[in-house]
A and B are shown apart, each in its own frame.
Chain A
Amino acid sequence: MALKKLKLSGNLSVFILSGLILLSLQLMSSATQESSQLGEMYSWLLLMNAIGSVVLLWLVGANIYTLTKQLKKREAGSRLTTRMVSLFVVLALAPAAIVFYFSMQFLHQGIDSWFNVEIDRAMEDSLELSQASLDQRMRWHLKQTQQLASTLEFSPTNLLAPEIENLRELAGASEMTLFSQPGTIIVSSSNNPSDILPSLPDEHIWIQLRQQHTDYVALSPVRDDELMIRVIVKINGQEPLYLQALYPVPVRIADLADSVEFAFVRYQEMSFLRHSLKLSFSLALSLVLLMSLLAAIWVAFISIRHIIAPVKALVKGTQAVASGRYDQQLPVTAQDDLGFLVESFNEMTQRIARASYESRMAGFEVENQRAYLETILANLTAGVISFDTVFKIRTANQAAYRIFRIQVNQCIGYTLLELAKNVVELAEPLKSMQRFLELSDDIWEQRIAFLGPNGRQELLCRGTPLFAQDGARAGAVVVFDDVTDLIQAQKNAAWGEVARRLAHEIKNPLTPIQLSAERLQHKLADKLSEADAAILKRSTITIVQQVEAMKEMVDDFSEYAKPSKKQTVAIDLPVLVQEVLALYVLKSGVKFKANYEAGGGLLVTGDPVSIRQVLHNLIKNALEAIETQGLIEINLHRVQKNDTDFIEIALYDDGPGIKDGQIEKIFEPYVTTKAKGTGLGLAIVKKIIEEHGGAIWVDTQRKVGAGFIIQLPACNV
């Protein structure tokens, strides 16, 4: 509403100013007419128009300045405005200049055509003719007056009055006066009785008369501008007198002379004013053109700005849309084509805004879904790693990092082989996984075991190659789960079952077998011959020994099957090692050496009985290997793997060592190199260590004797 009012007032001001300009120009034009009352205001009108031109010039200048600034700032619509204004100015200026040029030409030629040599000559001749005619009459009246004056030379003074009266009537003069030398009226006669005082010659005439001593004759307007021939003749006598006679010029001749004089003066004045007239008209015309052009340019600025406004708004709107502001709505100021364009723009921006909103919402939805999937993946216990076409890791979930204990930023963008170079501990499983990825074109499943930070770990890996919609290989995804605990549990359960059955099925019959054998010997020893009795005795002893051995074997087996981690306390390993070694120090021929850092905080969490059994089993194995003389060395120290602290127990002997073929199976039950062993010692050790979250392996780097390395998670108190 306010905008509409503003526009209305703007239009009104344009109309008013245009009207004032036209009025002023019209007044100036009228003022140039000679008969106009405005003639006196001509100069003021000229000045007003000049001021109007200055105002218009200032307005146009201000508009040009504003437009230049807008152009420099590269504001929307400024270039189009410049182009339109330039076009308008050129279109307006060209015809105006042509019209102006020819108008000036016609004006100057028209004024020049008023004057020419022939008319000049004719005017001068006519004036000269009039003057000649009047001169002739003047000479005649002079001669007549001189004759009359001669008659007065000897007239007595008292008769002068009637004489003058007679002479005036005789000569046909309208007035006749006789002056004395200083100009005193002596006698006067007039045909008009109302004229009390005669027409007196002015001082210059007297001076002329006195100086030149000649008679005076001249045309002179007398009283009511009536043209008279004034003749003054000197009368010589005792006292010089002057006779003045005023002869009327015939009305017809006077009128003609007046007419000729008026025309001559008018023509002479016009001729004199010729250049001024040209200048004045040129000035007026130039002023009119200048004002018209300036007003037109100013109105053009306003009009073009009005026309450009929707285009400007459209450009700004487009820029806003380009910068992502889709809620741009432009005011529809007119119902023309541009208004339609603005409406279409508004509709378009509404649609874009709606589409953008929907797209954003869809994006949010996708993002939510992705976040949801990521959350699911992150919370999966199974590790998930996705690969691109060149088997570089694209994503990996938290479980993968948890299983491998590798920082996230170390994984993305690397291949598994590159990762394996950096993380030596995981080299084997990573290489295996890479191999399967490269070789398999279908879903594959594989168990991969490795010594991880928590000891021996077993992974169940499932790989699936990914294909794009066009069938091209898009990468792969590997899902793996740490099944170490599961397998261990399965093994434990299996061995537990075996132990339970052994106890039930084997151990139970052993006692009756032993008792029966002992009874047979007791009952039959006396009844048999000595030789048979000896056989029986040996057999019975054998049976009893074997039964005992079987019992021992079943007990060991039960021991193996039992869970080793019965209680969990912090164990100070140096103390425990010292306690265990104290039991074997007395063993002649064998030296024991324990190396550890005092106050090193070598604590582990676990069941002290089980850990003690581990040490016993290993030391016993070593002693059995050494047989007579040797050295058993136990080193304790803290190590760090994959950001986790471990206490490493390294036990070395200088015995014959372990054959290469047995290293892999040495920890399995019933694997032994000794004649007497049950083959469960190292299996139990391994079971206890693993149940404590540790790992044990054979130190293959050692070339002398055998070496076992145990790593147990450190207890950080």
Chain B
Amino acid sequence: MRVFVNYKTLWMLAWLVCWPPLPVRAECCAAQVKMAQLVREGPNYLLSADIDYQFSEKALAALQNGVPLFWELQIKIQQPRELLWSKTLAETSIRYRLQYHALLNMYRVKNESNGDVQNVSSLAAALDLMSTLRNFHILDNAGFAPAPATVLALKVDFDRNALPLPLRPLAYLSKQWYLSSDWTLWPLKN
């Protein structure tokens, strides 16, 4: 007779009961912001960034099996303050959806912030689309006078809440699903 209450279930239950666990970090699968640059061109501040997305075995299997994956590139311009938390001068985000189309054997990258959809034939191409950000308009300089300490903060956040419901508990507990990056700070260039 099969034992359906397997050890994994019991282990997860015990884990949940013993909540909160330590933050699960996995350097192997986390995304990285390789470069970020905010350049003023005329009245606008334009952002250019290079991001390195990483896939764990589980995440790749999920993508190949039709599970859509979501990343959100969070962008903030912050001014550090003494004794207080940093003041956010500007904030925006870009949300990407990556999904594999079995019929076309293509990967679809959708920028959910502006609705752009691109279909590419390989995962590398799809990641290239998401990785390279050029001249993204952040804000115009009307009333914006950056202090010398003002920084550009970027973070790639993998949205685990957008995963199918059965995957979510595992995604919170397994390092295979920690695909987000940390906040990275970049100095502003005038």
CA of A257 to CA of B104, assembled, Å: 10
Residue contact B164 to A269, C-beta cutoff 8 Å:
yes
Q: Which chain B residues (1-16) contact chain A, with CB distance < 8 Å?
A: 2, 4-6, 8-10, 12-13, 16
Q: Which chain B residues (132-164) contact chain A, with CB distance < 8 Å?
A: 160-161, 164
Binds A, one of B28-36, B38-46, B58-66, B71-79: B58-66
Residue contact A276 to B170, C-beta cutoff 8 Å:
yes
Tell whether A287 pairs with B13 under 8 Å between CB atoms, given A40-B161, A202-B120, A269-B164: yes
Residue contact B13 to A266, C-beta cutoff 8 Å:
no
Residue contact B161 to A272, C-beta cutoff 8 Å:
no
CA of A269 to CA of B122, assembled, Å: 20
Residue contact B169 to A272, C-beta cutoff 8 Å:
no
Residue contact B103 to A257, C-beta cutoff 8 Å:
yes
Query: Is B25 part of the binding interface, using a Cβ–Cβ cutoff of 8 Å?
Result: no
Q: List 20 A-B contacts (CB under 8 A).
A: A34-B165, A43-B168, A47-B19, A50-B16, A101-B4, A134-B103, A218-B104, A219-B103, A219-B104, A221-B108, A272-B67, A273-B67, A276-B166, A276-B167, A278-B4, A279-B169, A280-B169, A282-B6, A283-B16, A290-B17
Nearest neighbor of A53 in chain B, beta-carbon distance = B17
Number of interface residues of B (CB under 8 A): 41
Instruction: List the 7 closest pairs (A to B, CB-CB), nearest first.
Output: A272-B65, A265-B66, A261-B103, A50-B16, A280-B166, A276-B166, A277-B166
What residues of chain A lie closer than 8 Å to B24, measured between beta carbons?
A: none
Cβ contact of A268, chosen from B9, B13, B18, B66, cutoff 8 A: B66
Query: Is B22 part of the binding interface, using a Cβ–Cβ cutoff of 8 Å?
Result: no
CA of A257 to CA of B17, assembled, Å: 46
Query: Is B93 part of the binding interface, using a Cβ–Cβ cutoff of 8 Å?
Result: no
Residue contact A279 to B166, C-beta cutoff 8 Å:
yes
What residues of chain A lie closer than 8 Å to B167, measured between beta carbons?
A: 273, 276, 280
Cβ contact of A264, chosen from B10, B16, B103, cutoff 8 A: B103
Query: Is B125 part of the binding interface, using a Cβ–Cβ cutoff of 8 Å?
Result: yes
Residue contact A286 to B170, C-beta cutoff 8 Å:
no
CA of A144 to CA of B52, assembled, Å: 42
Query: Is A204 part of the binding interface, using a Cβ–Cβ cutoff of 8 Å?
Result: yes
**Shortest Cβ distance from residue A295 to the other chain B in the assembled complex, whole angstroms:** 14
Nearest neighbor of A109 in chain B, beta-carbon distance = B4
Residue contact B9 to A264, C-beta cutoff 8 Å:
no
Chain A: residues with CB nearer than 8 A to chain B? 31-32, 34, 39-40, 42-43, 46-47, 50-51, 53-54, 57, 100-101, 104-105, 107-108, 127, 130-131, 134, 202, 204, 218-221, 225, 257-258, 260-261, 264-266, 268-269, 271-273, 276-283, 286-287, 290
**Shortest Cβ distance from residue A672 to the other chain B in the assembled complex, whole angstroms:** 125
CA of A260 to CA of B8, assembled, Å: 35
What residues of chain A lie closer than 8 Å to B103, measured between beta carbons?
A: 127, 130-131, 134, 219, 257-258, 260-261, 264
Cβ contact of B9, chosen from A54, A127, A277, A279, cutoff 8 A: A279
CA of A106 to CA of B108, assembled, Å: 38
Nearest neighbor of A290 in chain B, beta-carbon distance = B13
What residues of chain A lie closer than 8 Å to B164, measured between beta carbons?
A: 269, 273, 276
Beyond A43-B169, A219-B103, A269-B66, 19 extra complex contacts between A and B, CB < 8 Å: A31-B165, A43-B172, A47-B16, A101-B4, A108-B4, A127-B102, A204-B120, A204-B125, A219-B104, A221-B104, A258-B103, A265-B101, A266-B66, A272-B62, A273-B166, A273-B167, A283-B12, A283-B16, A290-B13
What residues of chain A lie closer than 8 Å to B90, measured between beta carbons?
A: none
Cβ contact of A283, chosen from B13, B104, B118, B119, cutoff 8 A: B13
Nearest neighbor of B16 in chain A, beta-carbon distance = A50
CA of A286 to CA of B6, assembled, Å: 12
CA of A131 to CA of B104, assembled, Å: 8
Nearest neighbor of B66 in chain A, beta-carbon distance = A265
Chain B: residues with CB nearer than 8 A to chain A? 2, 4-6, 8-10, 12-13, 16-19, 61-62, 65-67, 101-104, 106, 108, 117-122, 125, 160-161, 164-170, 172
What residues of chain A lie closer than 8 Å to B62, measured between beta carbons?
A: 272
**Shortest Cβ distance from residue B169 to the other chain A in the assembled complex, whole angstroms:** 6
CA of A50 to CA of B2, assembled, Å: 27
**Shortest Cβ distance from residue A251 to the other chain B in the assembled complex, whole angstroms:** 16
Nearest neighbor of B103 in chain A, beta-carbon distance = A261
Cβ contact of A46, chosen from B5, B65, B106, B169, cutoff 8 A: B169
**Shortest Cβ distance from residue B126 to the other chain A in the assembled complex, whole angstroms:** 10
Nearest neighbor of A46 in chain B, beta-carbon distance = B169
Nearest neighbor of B161 in chain A, beta-carbon distance = A40
Residue contact B4 to A107, C-beta cutoff 8 Å:
yes
What residues of chain A lie closer than 8 Å to B104, measured between beta carbons?
A: 218-221
Cβ contact of A105, chosen from B4, B9, B19, cutoff 8 A: B4
Residue contact B19 to A283, C-beta cutoff 8 Å:
no
What residues of chain A lie closer than 8 Å to B168, measured between beta carbons?
A: 42-43, 46, 280
What residues of chain A lie closer than 8 Å to B117, measured between beta carbons?
A: 221, 225
CA of A384 to CA of B109, assembled, Å: 126
Nearest neighbor of B5 in chain A, beta-carbon distance = A104
CA of A419 to CA of B104, assembled, Å: 131
CA of A101 to CA of B168, assembled, Å: 24
What residues of chain A lie closer than 8 Å to B166, measured between beta carbons?
A: 273, 276-277, 279-281
**Shortest Cβ distance from residue B151 to the other chain A in the assembled complex, whole angstroms:** 31
What residues of chain A lie closer than 8 Å to B108, measured between beta carbons?
A: 221
**Shortest Cβ distance from residue A288 to the other chain B in the assembled complex, whole angstroms:** 11
What residues of chain A lie closer than 8 Å to B165, measured between beta carbons?
A: 31-32, 34, 39, 42, 280
CA of A202 to CA of B16, assembled, Å: 47
Residue contact B9 to A221, C-beta cutoff 8 Å:
no
Name, among B6, B66, B160, the residue most crowded by chain A CB atoms within 10 Å (CB to CB). B66
**Shortest Cβ distance from residue A443 to the other chain B in the assembled complex, whole angstroms:** 95
CA of A40 to CA of B162, assembled, Å: 8
CA of A560 to CA of B61, assembled, Å: 149
Residue contact B102 to A264, C-beta cutoff 8 Å:
yes
What residues of chain A lie closer than 8 Å to B18, measured between beta carbons?
A: 54
CA of A269 to CA of B163, assembled, Å: 11
Residue contact B65 to A218, C-beta cutoff 8 Å:
no
Residue contact B65 to A54, C-beta cutoff 8 Å:
no
